[in-house]
Chains A and B, each alone.
Chain A
Amino acid sequence: MSRRPSLSALAWLLLGAAYFVVPLAATAEFSLKGGLSRYSFAAYSSFLDDPQFRETFWLSFKLALETIAISLVLFVPTVYYVHLKLPRLRPVMIALSLLPFVVPPVVLVVGLLGVYRGAPEWFIAKPEGFLVAGYVVLSFPFIYWSLDAGFRAIDVHTLTEASQSLGAGWRTTLARVILPNIRAAALAGAFLTLAVVMGEFTMANLALFNTFPVYINYIGETKAYPAAALSIVSFAITWIAMLGLLFVGRGRGRRVAQAESAVMT
């Protein structure tokens, strides 16, 4: 039975929405004005035609994909193993996952530069090397918590043992039984990582790499209207990633609910 929301609930909803929507709308309106008396997309075309926009955007996107790939390869087997064999290590994993929030990015960059001192140039001087190493650390909490939730939602022990009793080895079990059942969690972690990397400024700026957020910052310091337009585009990218997350999560939630209702009957 559907209930109509009360007036006060609607008022609070509108107030909350206004908190997010008004600044966005104002920024969008500002970006479309472009200092002229009529609205135009001049501010948007000014950076869309800029090769630096495409280069930095593509670079950040590549770094995000690389970070996602390395993180999943590293952490899916790790979290699986912790859930299966070393559940006592879970508090340690949780503590480790909080470190990137506790340690400021400035300190992290200085620390990483110290750690990688003496590393080959193709690694330390390239964003695909040094920066991705830092991004894997930064995105660890997001990947870890997503995967942890995914592994907690399935019966890892029983599925693993059932697979093994049917003759499957570890690799087959991971690839054909475990991974398909944590796919939504892995995708959720991947989207969050995408959002983190596409918006990470401090580390790239301090390490002198010209990524998309560094480019946004540069535009913001030099051109007012294109900066507003770029902010809107940046927002849109993050929102698309979030919508993807929401979509994947909804599909997963429906499956879990169906499974639960089947068990109840």
Chain B
Amino acid sequence: MAHVELRELRRTFGPVIALHGIDIALESGEFLSLLGPSGCGKTTALRLIAGFDRPDSGRILVDGKDMTRVPPSRRDMGMVFQAYSLFPNMSAEQNVEFGLRIRGLGRPERAAKVAELLELVGLGHAGKRYPHQLSGGMQQRVALARALAIEPRVLLLDEPLSALDAKVRVQLREEIRRIQLELGITTIYVTHDQEEALSISDRVAVLSQGRIEQIGTPVEIYGAPETPFVAEFIGTMNRLEATVTDPSTGEVDYGGTLLRVDVVRGRPAGEHVLVLVRPETIELEQGANGSAPNGSLAVEIVSHTFLGAVTRLRLSCPAGELTADVSTTRALAIPVGTQAHASFPPATARLLTLEQPASAARDQDGR
């Protein structure tokens, strides 16, 4: 039995369907991220789980017990909010202590627990400070300690790092993961930042327009997107609209150039497919104008975007444009205007059938 289960959870706001009846099951101690763009329903789902909102239909189960109608104060779920949520009239210690006082713990137990948790989030020295005396990152650490103090069955985090600067964000997300692993607490984390979700989660659920597009491990989500949306949303992806020409070798025709894609093998000849190629898998060789060996595209370097260790290149070919990520030292050798041959290992490309992409098929079923 799963620790937390969302069954057919549906929520509408007037004519807008925020959640189309989602199903998610989490095992005990699992870290799941709900990832998606603004308005995809991820925060709505989290608020339903926390009890701040009621679903139109569907159920929320924790250890098999139906929590759908249980008020938030009795759900035993700790929550860290996107906005700074510390009580301004209380010090960091008093904030962490709040939930323990509600539960009627004695003063010595409370003091010990508060000290332990502030130490856990690295703020053992700042217990006497009030929220206005703490930086944004420190406030969110205290909020995390406060949520953990009540030893919740589930920890819910609603974009807790979005108001922080990039460096603190990275540091704090690693700490959240460390603490989660240390305590083994089941965690649901809402974010629109794919890097954040992929770097700290056991599994990621990608949401779009109130539906779950795909649930899987970060490697599965990144490496094997199941829908065009996931392919577009996670990382950068080249989309090559092609036609299967030789099912036995996995050959496709992309704008007149024949390319080999392993996953095409066995598909019927003439089928229109969407070949997905990650920019970092594209290999570039300098070559003569207009000609390219078999399995390669003749391209021209159109632009360079410096990203640090990696440089992103925009490539122009007769069938369209591609993006390639190469090491910055390599990029210096192929300046803008260079004619080159672009290829990718046949095993690295993914495939989606153009006639009926997964999300489109579901849209039709839904209507």
* CB <8 Å contact, A158 and B132: no
Stretch at the interface among B83-91, B211-219, B255-263: B83-91
- A to B contact number (C-beta, < 8 Å): 85
Question: Which residue from B79, B83, B88, B147 sits with its C-beta under 8 Å from A259?
Answer: B88
Q: Is A120 interfacial (CB-CB < 8 Å)?
A: no
Stretch at the interface among B13-21, B70-78, B321-329, B340-348: B70-78
Q: Is A181 interfacial (CB-CB < 8 Å)?
A: yes
Q: Which residues of A contact B146 (CB under 8 A)?
A: 162, 166
Given contacts A154-B88, A258-B133, A262-B132, contact A161 B102 (CB under 8 A): no
Q: Which residues of B contact A255 (CB under 8 A)?
A: 88, 132
* Interface of chain A residues 137 through 171 with chain B (CB within 8 A): 154-155, 158-159, 161-169
Q: Is B50 interfacial (CB-CB < 8 Å)?
A: yes
Question: Which residue from A164, A172, A259 sits with its C-beta under 8 Å from B72?
Answer: A164
Q: Which residues of A contact B85 (CB under 8 A)?
A: 155, 158-159, 161-162
Minimum CB–CB distance from B142 to chain A (whole Å) comes to 11
* CB <8 Å contact, A165 and B83: no
* CB <8 Å contact, B150 and A259: no
Q: Is A251 interfacial (CB-CB < 8 Å)?
A: no
- Tell me the nearest residue of chain B to A160, going by C-beta: B52
**Cα distance A255–B89 when bound, in Å?**
10
* CB <8 Å contact, A162 and B73: no
* CB <8 Å contact, B102 and A162: no
* CB <8 Å contact, A262 and B134: yes
Q: Which residues of B contact A158 (CB under 8 A)?
A: 81, 83-85
Q: Which residues of A contact B72 (CB under 8 A)?
A: 161, 164-165
Q: Is B98 interfacial (CB-CB < 8 Å)?
A: yes
Q: How large is the interface on A (under 10, 10 to 19, 20 to 34, 35 or more residues)?
A: 20 to 34
- Tell me the nearest residue of chain B to A170, going by C-beta: B73
* CB <8 Å contact, B88 and A181: yes
- Tell me the nearest residue of chain B to A255, going by C-beta: B132
Q: Is B131 interfacial (CB-CB < 8 Å)?
A: yes
* CB <8 Å contact, B77 and A155: no
Given contacts A164-B72, A168-B73, contact A259 B131 (CB under 8 A): yes
Q: Is B367 interfacial (CB-CB < 8 Å)?
A: no
Q: Is B135 interfacial (CB-CB < 8 Å)?
A: yes
Q: Which residues of A contact B77 (CB under 8 A)?
A: 165
Given contacts A166-B146, A258-B133, A262-B135, contact A181 B89 (CB under 8 A): yes
Which of A155, A159, A166, A172 gathers the greatest number of chain B CB atoms within 10 Å? A166
* CB <8 Å contact, A162 and B79: yes
**Cα distance A161–B52 when bound, in Å?**
7
Q: Which residues of A contact B156 (CB under 8 A)?
A: 165
* CB <8 Å contact, B79 and A165: yes
Q: Which A residues are within 8 Å of any B CB, using their own CB?
A: 154-155, 158-159, 161-169, 172, 176-177, 180-181, 255, 258-259, 262-263, 265
Return the 7 tightest CB-CB contacts between A and B, nearest first: A166-B99, A259-B132, A180-B89, A162-B85, A165-B79, A258-B132, A167-B102
Known: A158-B84, A161-B79, A162-B87. 13 other contacts (CB 8 A): A155-B83, A159-B85, A162-B81, A162-B86, A164-B51, A164-B73, A166-B147, A166-B150, A168-B102, A181-B87, A255-B132, A262-B135, A262-B136
